[in-house]
Structure 1
Amino acid sequence: MAERHVVVVGAGIGGLSSALLLAAQGVRVTVLERAGAPGGKMRQVSAGGQPMDAGPTVFTMRWIFEAILARAGTCVDDVLRTVPLNVLARHWWGPDQVMDLHADSTRSQEAIGRFAGAAEAQRFARFIEEARRVYAALEGPYIRATRPTLLGLSRDLGLGGLATLAQLGPFMSMWRVLARHFHDPRLQQLFGRYATYCGASPWQAPATLMLIAQVEMDGVWAVEGGMHAVARAFEQLAASRGAKFQYSCEVRQVLVRNGRAMGVQTSTGERIEADAVLFNGDCAALAEGLLGDAARRAVAPTQPAERSLSALTWLMHADTRGADLVRHNVFFDADYASEFADIFKRKQLPRQATVYVCAHDRLDGAPSQRGPERLMALVNAPAVGDTQPGTDADPFSDTEIAQCEASRFAQLRRCGLDLSPTPANSTLVTPREFHRLFPATGGALYGRASHGWMVSFKRPGAASRLPGLFLAGGSVHPGPGVPMAAMSGLQAAEALMEHLDSTSRWSRVATSGGMSTPSATTANTG
């Protein structure tokens, strides 16, 4: 049988997972990445002269990574050094209103009792129990499913799962369910933030996203070397099994022959033929024709109004004074609803906003040494980074960004954290820069926003509408976030192997020169 060859476009965690699994099964894999290093959104940049994560900061759902690595003959502990976090996050509403959420739900319940009273602590216990039931109901039929349909999900849930969702009110928004669980608006804010993990507003996200509470209770880890180290580990494993990586290599076109994807063409004009192509990028790029007209029909377009959150991020190597930070810290403003109205309705930077601060060098307490530390501050923003500069619709003028920075860091100081970015110690990333890094997105960091109960059925699955073109990443099923994107890579590898096996059987009776016949160009890329 002729050697099978797959081109993977994009070295985010979805593409890396697929590349590893395919290479481990003897497929010749070529990974093409337009950036200079692997990771996609799990990229690393220098700020204040220090390397640090510039994207996701949380390692959860460890079982997904264990499942992928087991198929490659290894495990998480063999390739990564991880430390479990006892404090999941520290939350501020003011200098004297501070509450920790713990990995141990009993400790969290006690902390909520001290913070908001015994009645709210009891409500938290009921909330967590419901989150457990929702997660248990959906893990198999949704997260592990290749691509769920409404009918299939209803069938696979069974009577128990259907009863759980019916009790929850699956057509309700997350915010309505939280208002039913908690009377203290601060706790509604705290748990409403889970919607933003999927790039959504808690007023529009489905109630089922409360299952993220269970995901966190199952464990949150810090990774030595940051989340970028996860990407590097997967890259090295895939390379050790034969995958080839080409960086600073931009793909301009998916090549199609006889109605099937059969390779790619790069920006330099090089044509690389393959038996199949796996696209690990935002599906909006395909729908907008950024990889050629023939690939437009592979997925349905994502309208600008359907985009998820973007962000302003300040990456800093700076001194901190005042507030006692842990690794993950959240600083709330008073008017939570206005934050999402500004972002999703008015398409402007929020006048009041939540600020997330990741202290990269901390675990559950103070850093190991005094002096500057590596920090990321993040504020949610609308995904309109493709608005043309200089127009009346451009919300990202230097003046407005400066005003947002001033108000948000003043908010941190009101909560007791003295922290200031400067040109020398920080790097600012705006939605416009995210759009440049991830074309066709407007800077959206989570694909299509998780708004409405039907959104789960709108994401494409591993197999696109174009035969031979497969999909992985946060814009496809099962959705955004590092573990979900990794799971999409696993599902894409499985679907792709079925495709290769079926075309191999077909090619035994095919005439010479069929899709699986390697060309001279293909031979030169191995």
Structure 2
Amino acid sequence: MFDTGTNLADRPRTIVVGAGIGGLACALRLAHAGHAVTVLDRHNHPGGKMRQVDSPAGPVDAGPTVLTMRPVFDSLFADVGARLEDHVTLTRQNVLARHFWPDGSDLTLWNNRGRNLDAIDGFAGPRAADEFRRFCADMERLYAAFDAPMMRAPDPSVGRLTGRVLLDPGLIWAMAPLATMRTDLRRRFSDMRLAQLFARYATYVGGHPGLTPALLSLIWRAEEQGVWAVDGGMQALARAIADLAATRGAVLRLGTDVSRIETGNGRVTGVTLINGERLAADTVVFNGDPRALATCALGTGVAQVATQTLTTRRSLSARVWAFAATPEGPDLAHHNVFFAADPDEEFASIAAGQMPTDPTIYVCAQDRGQGQPPPLVERFEIILNAAPLTDAQRPDKEAQTCHQRTFPTLARFGLTFRAEPGPEALTTPSDWNRLFPASAGSLYGQSPHGMTASLKRPRARTTIAGLYLVGGGTHPGAGVPMATLSGQHAAAAILKDRTLT
């Protein structure tokens, strides 16, 4: 902890541009270590994509919906002398998700492997249960093997990962290095509904199942280890981290837009706000899509950073409904998935930049799984996978078409809502690009397609001294836990580099 008796003028000055979860995690660690930290964000709330919109039933999540990989957050709070449970209220979900298919079948997955084996046996028979048992064992093995050298490592390399596999050659079969998630899962499961179910985890990192490497099926293991709902929504977690950082001396300035990151003599010198105000800094942490730097959205002085984002494919976007209504139909859990009849056709449409006529629809019933009966009017977030910005999209028709593809589809499953939402409740790829400039509407940065895609993401350190990157577009990648880890990587790099200097 920083010695509070030290002259404030001698404290390292750090500016964090963006109050997403990665920027907040980095700011908290640096403030705890004694840096004079200022966090700037163009939005009026902390959390970045962990955003909420107003409704008659209260704020509704319009971004990430649950917390997974809880040890990442326990460690963040513990490292600054606090406890996660003292700052947010978490409810572990007994039901991981309920899944529905057009043929009328449905499957509930639980937070217990034995119970899931029984559920799958009843759903698709003993052969399918045995296939699921082997799948879980392989994903558990892969997760344990690659957690430290990939996700937790600030600078993973092909050599280090190869060395890990050479220590356990049996990993090669489980990895299926030449296969995509779609082909590997169809090899593993004789029931194509189960292959479709687990292939949807590709979308968790913005990928198409037919192009995302089979290795990323290990995402299932992260969810199998536990899913928690956050009281007050996911933004409550962001506010808790921001408040804790403030107690360590960090200053959070919301509604403050940065126009340029200033540089001189090969290093950062500060930032200039859109109103012309200049803030000097020894270190600048950029918590946004790295593509914004490469496209000169933050000035020409940082255009040499993350240039790979100019040529690599973008990850998926989403169309998101956030609203309050009274539902009628099937008994919902917190997580619910209504599958398309033909996943190949669905993702072919997305790859072409078009809206699928028969989409898979995720429904988060935000008031379910909270340990008490839901109110009459509930809060809902509905997510449909979408392409990032393309010429094929028609923003003028998007809300109307999306409404027609969403609510009649759910009605065919028996799920209806009294008072369906209007276009004001919809966030589209164009909206995401406006909210997060230079992202091209992508929610996860670079595409995860290709066996080495994860190694090609920008890292915390950049070629400009004093400039560091955090967020879902930076290693280790997309998702709230991964972005949080990026904040840990950046803070460690900053403290180490300053000590060396």
1:337 aligns with 2:344: yes
CA contact (8 A) 1:178 1:192 kept: yes
Give the match for residue 161 of structure 2: 153
Distance 1:265 1:370, change over 3 A: closer
Residues 58 and 222 in structure 1, CA contact (< 8 A), matched pair in contact too: yes
CA distance in 2, matches of 1:441, 1:157: 34
Structure 1 moving runs of 4+ over 4 Å: 423-426
1:22 maps onto 2:4 in alignment: no
Q: Does the 8 Å CA contact 1:33/1:249 hold for their aligned counterparts? A: yes
Among 357, 360, 367, the residue aligned to 2:366: 360
1:73-100 CA-to-partner distances (Å, cap 9, x unmatched) read 0121121111111110000003731110
Task: Tell me the residue number matched to 2:114.
Answer: 106
TM-score w.r.t. the length of structure 1 is: 0.91
Matched, 1:374 2:372: no
C-alpha distance in 1 between matches for 2:191 and 2:35 = 55
Distance in 1 (CA, whole Å) between partners of 2:120 and 2:90 is 28
Decide whether the 8 Å contact of 1:461 with 1:471 is kept in 2: yes
**Any stretches of 5+ residues in structure 2 without a counterpart?**
1-5
Q: Provide Cα deviations, 1:207-253, integer angstroms capped at 9, x if missing partner.
A: 11111111111110111111101100000000000000111111111
Mapping for residues 83-94 of structure 1, pairs under 5 Å: 83-94=91-102
Give the residue type in structure 2 aligned to 1:86. Answer: N
Give the counterpart of 1:462 among 460, 463, 474: 460
Distance 2:423 2:366 in 1: 15
- Unaligned runs of 5+ residues in structure 1 are 388-392, 504-526
Question: Aligned match of 1:128 in 117, 128, 136?
Answer: 136
- Taking structure 1 as reference, are residues 52 and 103 closer, same or farther at Cα in structure 2, changes over 3 Å only? same
| SS state at 2:303 partner | helix
Counterpart position of 1:41? 49
Alignment size in residue pairs = 493
The answer to whether 1:180 aligns with 2:178 is: no
Amino acid at match of 1:289: C
SS in 2 for 1:319: strand
SS at match of 2:445: coil
Q: Determine the structure 1 residue equivalent to 2:281.
A: 274
Distance 2:420 2:341 in 1: 27
Cα distance in structure 1, aligned partners of 2:43 and 2:13: 22
Q: Is 1:82 equivalent to 2:87 in the alignment?
A: no
- Per the TM alignment, residue 477 of structure 1 is displaced from its structure 2 partner at its CA by 0.5
Q: CA deviation at 1:183?
A: 1.2
* Structure 1, 43-52 or 216-225: larger mean CA deviation: 43-52
Offset of residue 461 of structure 1: 0.9
Q: What is the DSSP-based 3-state SS (H/G/I as helix, E as strand, rest coil) of the residue aligned with 1:108? A: helix
Distance 1:445 1:67 in 2: 26
2:242 and 2:439 mapped to 1: Cα distance?
25
- In structure 1, the residue matched to 2:3 is none
Measure, in 2, the Cα distance between the counterparts of 1:104 and 1:225: 26
* Residue aligned with 2:249, SS: coil
Which of 11, 16, 31 is matched with 2:19 structurally? Answer: 11
Cα 1:108–1:314 change in 2 (3 A) is same
Question: What SS class does the counterpart of residue 316 from structure 1 fall into?
Answer: strand
Contact 1:47 1:425 in 2 (8 A): no
RMSD: 1.8
In structure 1, C-alpha distance between the alignment counterparts of 2:109 and 2:300, rounded to whole Å? 49
Distance in 1 (CA, whole Å) between partners of 2:279 and 2:26 is 19
Aligned counterparts of 2:415 and 2:185: Cα–Cα separation in 1: 29
Asked if structure 1 preserves the Cα contact closer than 8 Å seen for 2:461 and 2:493, the reply is yes
Structure 1 residues 126-184: Cα deviation after superposition (integer angstroms, max 9, x where no partner): 00000001101100110111121111222345511x43134432231111110111011
Aligned match of 2:409? 411
Would the alpha carbon gap of residues 158 and 75 (structure 1) be closer, same or farther in structure 2, given more than 3 Å must change? farther
**Aligned partner letter, 1:477:** H
Corresponding position of 2:206: 199
Tell whether the 8 Å contact from 2:339 to 2:361 is kept in structure 1 after alignment: yes
Q: Do 1:315 and 1:426's aligned partners in 2 also have CA atoms closer than 8 Å?
A: no
- Hey, what does 1:64 align to over in structure 2? 72
CA distance in 2, matches of 1:465, 1:206: 29
Equivalent residue, structure 2, for 1:446:
444
Q: Report 1:205-354 matches (<5 A).
A: 205-303=212-310, 306-344=313-351, 346-354=352-360
Amino acid at match of 1:478: P
Residue 405 (structure 1) shift: 1.7
Distance 1:71 1:379 in 2: 37
CA 1:136–1:451 in structure 2 vs 1: closer, same or farther (change >3 Å)? same
Cα distance in structure 1, aligned partners of 2:141 and 2:105: 31
Shift of 1:29: 0.3
Q: 1:123 offset after TM fit, Å? A: 0.4
- Measured at CA, do residues 305 and 381 of structure 1 come closer, stay the same or move farther in structure 2, by a change above 3 Å? farther
- In structure 2, the residue matched to 1:497 is 495
